[in-house]
Structure 1
Amino acid sequence: MSIALPNSENLVAELRARAMALGFGSFGIAGADARPDLPEKLRQALEAGWHGDMEWMAETAERRGSPKGLWPEAKSLILLGYNYGPESDPLGILEEKSLGSISVYARNRDYHEIIKGKLKELAGLLARRSGEAVKVFVDTAPLMEKPLAEAAGLGWQGKHTVLVSRDFGSWLFLGAIVTSADLPVDKSHPQSCGRCTRCLDVCPTRAFPGPFQLDSRRCLAYLTVEHKGQIPVEFRAPMGNRIYGCDDCLAVCPWNKFASIAHEAKLRARDDLERPRLADLVQLDDQGFRQMFAGSPIKRIGLGRFLRNVLIAIGNSRDQSLVPLAEAKLVDEDPLVRGAAIWAMRRLAPARAEMLRLSFEPWENDAAVRVEWTGELA
């Protein structure tokens, strides 16, 4: 049996105070073996195929299932939450079809960069005070932060699988410090969703097989960010004007009413990413894309996937002024972009699209794009 560090309570109090000073709103500690149920839950999700084409989840399953699988020396985990609650309802823009909806978490600098620096500072303090080893993680390693944060008392995993906090609702970035130090643990948070199913009911693609279960293959957050191919046809119309991520299930959570007033230190959105015009976005070239999204998580998906998303939104816009801009992308060098442009044209200007098909289809060398021209997917 391991023995906690001498004066560990004083050390934890110092760490907690420093975390709050760095802008974190939540702080909790869990033992490295706090969730022995995770390997089996992960196995079931992978066997069901809910991870989609995120093969790295299956490849790292053994390490992902347990902090000790990731690092055998681990004894304790410090879980921290950083508030990014929006100033207004992020779902309001969904009715403004000529604008693009960007998920709240992506409207500022990449949260990995912001939070990792703060974690490193806090971990350095722990290492100096304890003499123990530390590692920091921000959604970049096979660590199941959400259930571990639940074990550390930060909140509970809601029926939408996202961590919910009594103070911050569904708007928390999570980071973790894994350490060989044996620290006193906090009490886990009980599940507090009650009978509420708002997050499940609002999902435009029915991505939840059941409460606390998420099929990524049907999730717009996954499809617009992680998915590398064309958006499956059945999800294009429900996608609306969501061009990066989806906030629907988070935004309707009743606990969010506390998020806007709970903590002043939080990430705030860039003005230009709150209401971007589809007409401007679809005209971005590679240089413009890189400049606009420098330091943003959006940059990681690349111009092709981004334009794919924008063109699907244009197809859903009913805005005839966007037809020439969609048509211009029919000659894009990226087949992902050409395919999405065809779908947008078929939605906005079907007669014009059919006329153009006679010119474009015979010369198209990409099989998937040719299928878009035939209309067999529509």
Structure 2
Amino acid sequence: MAQDKLEHRLKAKAAELGFVACGIAHAGAAPRAGERLRQWLADGRHGDMIWMEERKHHRESPAGLWPEVRSVIALGMSYAPKDDPLRLADEGGVGRISVYAQGPDYHDVVKRQLKALGRWLAAEAGRDLPPFDLKVFVDTAPVMEKPLAEAAGLGWQGKHTNLVSREHGSWLFLGAIYTTLDLEPDEGGINTCGSCDACQTACPTDAFPRPYQLDARRCISYLTIEHAGPIPHEFRAVIGNRIYGCDDCLAVCPWNKFAAAANANLAFHPRAELVAPELADILALDDASFRQVFAGSPIKRIGRDRMIRNTLIAAGNSGDRALVTSVAVLLDDPAPVVRDAAIWALAQLDPARFREEQIRRAAGEIDPAIIAAWRQADTMVA
């Protein structure tokens, strides 16, 4: 088989495996990505994501992770939602889970198909080409998948810093195959955001200091997923009923009008119980039941305590006094981050009950952080 035909056959096989986008870039095709990463880290905008800094030398370029790499095959799977992700914004009694996390863990689905494509490539090209090697990556590895996807022509990094595709909007899961093969590269993506600032103005926490830059420390996805401690008070009210992630900047992208949900991978169809879960049901979960409910979901990785913290913030914003009992029970939770959120939520929902609990517990509390949480919440109900 002639090598100049391999790229076409590769893309056909990728489509067969469920990838709606496939492109090729030279390993060095995104030279500015490392520079932008270093500046982002220097500005501290990665927050608690210490691993970003610890492995920046691997992430700066494909060769930093694997010196032998010659080509990068960038791939995308669509998870375009059937329904408007913002439709539950005013439904205080339910939690909003980011579209990507309502189904099975995309890391597992994408990586499985990347491996299948890698096996095909090894067998297909191995008959006619000298020995070569390849490695597959999803976003758990130190790979700059978005700049590489742009370099490979899958789309462009929009002003919200995520990849935007003309055909699939902002709804693509990305993966990459690094290989020592010299493959013919595709033309890079062309930015067509123009003067549109929909994603910027949609952000509830002003997480974009300027277009194409994200301050993760202000991002609701970061705060509800990556951040381990108490959520800063300045963001609690605007989080609303988002209990895992945030779709706002993605959902308002005008290019989504071309992203047909019918083309989304069937493997990512949402689980009914994760589309609009009742806050009371989530608040009742202990560690064992949390693991059971979120088995096979990316949500499982954040652990029960963060999820309860997030749900308590949503409860405090709900105005639903029927949640007071569920919130008050969590004042005795073993996890300080849960107790902190429960104090705040109770102060929002029932100031009188808050005062009762504050007086009753004042003498027995020894954790300085929780004592401070009571005092800070007290200022809200004075």
- TM category (shorter chain) comes to over 0.9
Please say if 1:142 is aligned against 2:138: no
Deviation of residue 350 (structure 1)?
1.1
TM-score normalised by L of structure 1: 0.97
The amino acid across from 2:84 in the alignment is D
Please say if 1:216 is aligned against 2:239: no
For 1:3, the equivalent position in structure 2 comes to: none
Number of residue pairs the alignment of both structures matches: 373
1: CA distance, partners of 2:347 / 2:376: 8
**Does the aligned pair in 2 maintain the 1:29–1:76 contact within 8 Å?**
yes
2: CA distance, partners of 1:54 / 1:176: 22
**What SS does structure 1 have at the residue aligned with 2:362?**
helix
For 2:282, the equivalent position in structure 1 comes to: 281
- Match runs of 1:1-378 below 5 Å: 7-128=2-123, 129-130=125-126, 131-260=131-260, 263=263, 265-266=265-266, 267-375=268-376, 378=380
Q: Structure 1 197/262 Cα, relative in aligned 2: closer, same or farther at 3 Å?
A: farther
The amino acid across from 1:277 in the alignment is E
Deviation of residue 9 (structure 1)?
2.5
Deviation of residue 80 (structure 1)?
0.3
TM-score normalised by L of structure 2: 0.96
Q: Structure 1 261/231 Cα, relative in aligned 2: closer, same or farther at 3 Å?
A: closer
**Does the aligned pair in 2 maintain the 1:8–1:184 contact within 8 Å?**
no
Deviation string, structure 1 residues 84-115 (Cα, Å, up to 9, x no partner): 01101010111101100000000011000011
**Which range is displaced more, 262-271 or 317-326?**
262-271
2: CA distance, partners of 1:364 / 1:309: 23
**Does the aligned pair in 2 maintain the 1:100–1:275 contact within 8 Å?**
yes
The amino acid across from 1:214 in the alignment is L
Deviation of residue 214 (structure 1)?
0.1
2: CA distance, partners of 1:370 / 1:126: 60
The amino acid across from 2:201 in the alignment is D
1: CA distance, partners of 2:148 / 2:365: 50
Deviation string, structure 1 residues 227-263 (Cα, Å, up to 9, x no partner): 0000000000010000000000000000111112572
1: CA distance, partners of 2:363 / 2:20: 58
The amino acid across from 2:374 in the alignment is W
Deviation string, structure 1 residues 60-86 (Cα, Å, up to 9, x no partner): 111111000000000000000000011
Deviation of residue 45 (structure 1)?
0.5
Deviation of residue 198 (structure 1)?
0.3
Deviation of residue 265 (structure 1)?
3.2
Deviation of residue 264 (structure 1)?
5.0
**What SS does structure 2 have at the residue aligned with 1:362?**
coil
**Does the aligned pair in 2 maintain the 1:167–1:262 contact within 8 Å?**
no
**Does the aligned pair in 2 maintain the 1:168–1:262 contact within 8 Å?**
no
Deviation of residue 349 (structure 1)?
0.6
Give unmatched runs, 5+ long, in structure 2.
none
**What SS does structure 1 have at the residue aligned with 2:176?**
strand
**Does the aligned pair in 1 maintain the 2:82–2:261 contact within 8 Å?**
no
2: CA distance, partners of 1:97 / 1:9: 56
The amino acid across from 1:323 in the alignment is V
2: CA distance, partners of 1:241 / 1:11: 48
**Does the aligned pair in 2 maintain the 1:28–1:78 contact within 8 Å?**
yes
1: CA distance, partners of 2:15 / 2:74: 13
**Does the aligned pair in 2 maintain the 1:86–1:104 contact within 8 Å?**
yes
Deviation string, structure 1 residues 319-342 (Cα, Å, up to 9, x no partner): 010011100111111111111000
**What SS does structure 1 have at the residue aligned with 2:346?**
helix
Q: Structure 1 223/71 Cα, relative in aligned 2: closer, same or farther at 3 Å?
A: same
**What SS does structure 2 have at the residue aligned with 1:79?**
strand
**What SS does structure 2 have at the residue aligned with 1:375?**
helix
**What SS does structure 2 have at the residue aligned with 1:95?**
coil
**What SS does structure 2 have at the residue aligned with 1:316?**
helix
2: CA distance, partners of 1:352 / 1:248: 34
**What SS does structure 1 have at the residue aligned with 2:74?**
strand
Deviation string, structure 1 residues 26-78 (Cα, Å, up to 9, x no partner): 00000000011112111110111110010111111111110000000000000
**What SS does structure 1 have at the residue aligned with 2:72?**
strand
Deviation of residue 361 (structure 1)?
2.8
2: CA distance, partners of 1:137 / 1:153: 18
The amino acid across from 1:223 in the alignment is L
Deviation string, structure 1 residues 106-130 (Cα, Å, up to 9, x no partner): 0011000011010001011222224
1: CA distance, partners of 2:278 / 2:150: 38
Deviation above 4 Å: which 4+ runs of structure 1? none
**Does the aligned pair in 1 maintain the 2:80–2:263 contact within 8 Å?**
no
**What SS does structure 2 have at the residue aligned with 1:169?**
coil
1: CA distance, partners of 2:367 / 2:261: 52
